[in-house]
Structure 1
Amino acid sequence: MSNNSQYRITCLIADLTRSLGTIGVCMALLLAYPASAQWYESEGSAVIIGNNIERAKEQAVKEAVKSAVLFAGASISSVQQVENGTLTQDSISYQSNGELVGLEVLSYTTTDESVTARIRAEIFAEAQCTNSGLSHTLTIARFPLAHRQQAAHGGIYDIGGAVSKVMHSSFQETSTQVKSHLWLDEVLAYDPSQLTTIPEVDELARTLARRSNSQYVLVGQVRDISVSQEQSLNLKFWTYEPKPRSLSLELDLLDGMTGELVKRFRYRDQVLWDFPPEQVVDPFSADFWQSDYGKAWGQMLGDAQNDIETALSCTPSIANIINRKDAGVIVNMGAQDGIVRGQTAQLTRMTTFMDPFGKVKTSFDASSIELVVSAVEARQAYLTTKRSSDLANVSINDVVMFKALKPDW
């Protein structure tokens, strides 16, 4: 690096309090030439599950890289490259083909309950897309059990409801990119494995989105919560030792306007079930979520939230026109979604048609009509057309696509 390079050191202290944990982040940022890879230092923490320190180290490194990537403004997909690495002798060997150019683990700090990793990550923070900066709205439906009989061990028949509600709360409390408008406490007749063969899925997504004023719908299924059949009876002390128990989640993110699949997510893990076999456990209780099994679910839901945010990071923010009023229109996005007065949007025509297989499809055609936000409420906004004559060409069936705000500096 040239001696003429200019450096600026920025330290960011952030406490990100989640229902799933608290992560403390402190970063040192060195800025050299623009559009070049830069080194960032950050910390990440992870709880120790089942005395598995190596697993906690891997998770802590991943959290640290997430923090560095977000601070650098790069794509969060860089973090996924860490998952291809192998933790050996307190170092990460990794394969890089994106924004994450280099990674070095500086230190680990271990307590009785958690591991904190300090890392240096070399990140190429070239902007990947331009979006409106608004949050996307999401409805999460209760996740049914694929095999209800598996819940008999521990009596966790309501695990799907608990998992989906915790995810809803986490999006509400911690996400700036995706806001969960509703946790739908209903069991849907939906099987992710049959998504491509059920024509009713399109209408299901559109119906749920209309009910909740959401742009996206998340449906899923708790696929596997089986307990290992290994013999765990301790004959010497006549006591039971904890058995490994699976946790597997299948999620489908659906576009609420088109009904189409945006992305499919699959997660699987196995940790010890640390409750006596005869004990009935409430999956909504603190005892469950503070157990090793509950903590593993927490980590899995955290990964799912990050993946969903990544999937939607470059998608446009679209709002439905729900009413016409005076010289403007009302849309179903507001201050809670990041809408501010003066923000502009483009009118987009939404049309439906039947494809050759008999499925209803949706297309969006941008128009030349521009609108401006004149007033904002929590869940809706009032927009007027820049040219008053354009209002006659706006209908309730249309949508608006918001544009990115220009920074003040």
Structure 2
Amino acid sequence: MSLLFVISTVMAGIANAQWYEATGTAYIIDGDIERARDQAVQEAVKSAIVFAGASISSIQQVENGTLTQDTISYQSNGELVGLEVLSQTTSGDTLSVHVRAEIFAEPQCSSSGLTHTITIARFPLAHRQHAAYGGIYDIGAAVSKVMHTSIEQTSNYLKSHLWLDEVVAYEPTQLMPHPEVDALARTLARRTNSQYVLLGQVRDISVSQEESVNLAFWTYQPKPRSLAIELDLLDGMTGELVKRFRYQDRVLWGFPPDQTVDPFSADFWQSDYGKAWGRLLSDAQSDIETALSCAPSIANIINRQEAGVIVNMGSLDGISQGQTAKLTRMTTFMDPFGKVKTSFDTSGIELVVSAVEARQAYLTTKYPSALANVNINDVVIFNGVNQEW
């Protein structure tokens, strides 16, 4: 899905609230104008709310361009008070709407201004037999690769270090009771030099078995096909689950039943079914960005020198010369249930970036003796833009 928007602000009469204008676009799938309109309105509202300084998750409460409740709250620091659709246009299979939204936004948390590094592993199929219709056995690989590429090309907040073309052995529904998943996340994060790991599973791509109403047996009628995915965002430092995301939809599968479709092909992604996957992945990317919007930017110490340390983040991650950070010691311990836990002990030692390369940076301190007890795999936490230490 493409998203182009222009936002302007007009002061509202209500204290602490402002009017914002934004434009959102959506594909028209299966000729469903109303659905595309709802999706375009949601994208426009997302844009306006983010511009206003509030965080947001996927919007589900907008129907036919109107609010389904008096107010909608977003992560307790932003509220959509009013909404008006100003115009609607279509061009080919794309629909655009221009909206005017009244938003109350509380200040967000301080941010380091850096990207959060993430690794995405190939998503396996929960039910492989679902892929037989159309032969889309590689749908999990294609979806995860497209998500990696989208983050790389479009995200200002995430940096996808690597797409792992391998199935990671884990079952999402069994995630919480299994401590070994923590170790898996930490191992993958160290292996790929990332702070977070995204694992997932394609839960449903089944085709409806409803009989066609067309009595002409030689005429193929497209059948509805589900698309559902579950994603787990894991902290690569601690191995713990940050957040679980679930998405699902159902659109017509427009290919003949005997045609094998390559899910990596342009034909697939330009079909109505592929476009639905594109929208779902766009929502997931937005939700992951929101989930990490207040998370600190943490880098591992990979080498220690006489007057400073080298960390595994660099200019590609937004590190710049002169930026400051706090030295933090990371320790692990066993909780009463036998699960490995991680704790961070922030010291009073402040570091400054003296030199930076693409994927690493050299930080120094005024007091080199303070680094005597620093160990490899200790971490530094970069200071927020407006944060006071």
Provide the TM-score with structure 1 as the length reference: 0.90
Q: 1:345 to 1:380 in 2, by over 3 A?
A: same
Aligned residue number for residue 270 of structure 1 = 250
Distance 1:189 1:48 in 2: 37
- Aligned pairs for 1:339-358 (under 5 A) are 339-358=319-338
- Alignment partner, residue 5 of structure 1: none
Structure 1 position 388 matched with structure 2 position 368:
yes
User: Contact conserved, 1:96 with 1:102, CA < 8 A, in 2?
Assistant: no
Q: CA deviation at 1:303?
A: 0.3
- Kindly tell me: are residues 359 and 35 of structure 1, through their superposed partners in 2, closer, same or farther at Cα, counting changes over 3 Å? farther
- Between 136-145 and 231-240, report the one with greater CA deviation: 231-240
Asked if 1:96 corresponds to 2:84, the answer is: no
2:66 and 2:310 map into 1 onto residues whose CA distance is 54
Q: Tell me the CA shift for residue 237 of structure 1.
A: 5.9
What residue in structure 2 maps to residue 85 of structure 1?
Answer: 62
For 1:15, the equivalent position in structure 2 comes to none
> How do residues 156-195 of structure 1 correspond to structure 2 at under 5 angstroms?
156-195=136-175
The equivalent residue for 1:24 is 4
CA distance in 1, matches of 2:128, 2:12: 57
Whole-angstrom CA distance in 1 between matches of 2:3 and 2:148: 19
1:406 Cα offset (Å): 6.0
Indicate conservation of the 8 Å contact 1:144/1:160, yes or no: yes
For residues 186-235 of structure 1, give each alpha carbon's deviation from its aligned partner in whole angstroms, at most 9, with x where no partner exists.
01111100101222101110010001000000001000000000113733
Please show how residues 254-333 of structure 1 align to structure 2 within 5 Å: 254-333=234-313
AA at the equivalent of 1:180: S
Structure 1, residues 116-155: CA drift from partner, whole Å, max 9, x if none?
1111111223212012011000000000000001100000
2:62 aligned with 1:62, yes or no?
Answer: no
Aligned match of 1:217: 197
- Aligned Cα RMSD in Å? 1.8
CA contact 1:92–1:105 (8 Å) conserved in 2: no
1:43 to partner: Cα distance: 0.5
Q: Distance in 2 between matches of 1:347 and 1:151?
A: 49
**Unmatched 5+ residue regions in structure 1?**
1-20
**What letter corresponds to residue 172 of structure 2 in structure 1?**
P
Task: Tell me by how many angstroms 1:158 deviates.
Answer: 0.3
Structure 1 SS opposite 2:89 = strand
**What are the within-5 Å matches in structure 2 for residues 134-149 of structure 1?**
134-149=114-129
**Which residue number corresponds to residue 235 of structure 1?**
215
Measured in 2, the distance between the counterparts of 1:201 and 1:151 equals: 27
Which residue is 2:135 aligned to?
155
Does 115-124 or 299-308 show the bigger shift?
Answer: 115-124
Q: Where does structure 1 differ by over 4 angstroms across 4 or more consecutive aligned residues?
A: 31-35
Bigger relative CO (Cα 8 Å, ≥ 6 apart): 2
Residue of structure 2 in register with 1:360 after alignment: 340
Aligned equivalent of 1:17: none
The residue type paired with residue 284 of structure 1 is: F
Identical columns (%): 71
Q: What displacement does 1:375 show? A: 0.4
- Out of 336, 345, 349, the residue aligned to residue 369 of structure 1 is 349
Partner residue in 2 for 1:112 = 92
Corresponding residue for 1:8? none
Distance 2:168 2:291 in 1: 24
TM-score, normalised with respect to structure 2: 0.94
Give, as a single letter, the amino acid of the residue that structure 2 aligns with 1:192.
Answer: P
